Amino acid sequence: MSQCQTCGACCAAYRVQFSVYELDDMGGAVPVTLTETVNGSTCRMRGTGEVPIRCVALSGSVGTGVSCAIYALRPRPCTELQEGSHACNKARQRHGLPPLDERPEH
């Protein structure tokens, strides 16, 4: 089972920024109502541009049990962040969670 369901640290550690072309009103999938504008070409998930960082789409408690309200529609930074990667373990460390084994390079 994925560790992500009991984690969520990366959804509460980084600015989640991506192209406006990923927004549902621009032909993409991400609900525009859950985002805010960064500039003309970039937007981000609401809640990830402030401190403490926590994406508006995240529900539950980090490190215990979480879910993403837009999992199937989530933007590229979320689909690209690999479980067990450096960015994953850095986020987990920030939330006092132990590192996961590094996945083999591919």
Least distance from C-beta 41 to ligand SF4, angstroms? 19
* Choice between 40 and 98, CB closer to ligand SF4: 98
CA angle 26/27/32 to nearest 5° reads 50
Dihedral angle computed from the Cα positions of residues 76, 78, 80 and 83, in that order, rounded to the nearest 10 degrees: -170
Q: Where does the chain show beta strands of DSSP type E? A: 17-19, 35-37, 42-45, 58-61, 65-68
Contact residues: ligand SF4, CB under 6 A: 3-4, 7-11, 16, 45, 55, 57-58, 68, 70, 74, 78, 81, 83, 88, 91-92, 100
Helix segments in 1-106, DSSP class H: 76-80, 86-94
Least distance from C-beta 71 to ligand SF4, angstroms? 6
* Choice between 1 and 39, CB closer to ligand SF4: 1
* Choice between 40 and 79, CB closer to ligand SF4: 79
Least distance from C-beta 69 to ligand SF4, angstroms? 7
* Choice between 10 and 20, CB closer to ligand SF4: 10
Q: How many whole angstroms separate alpha carbon 106 and alpha carbon 103?
A: 9
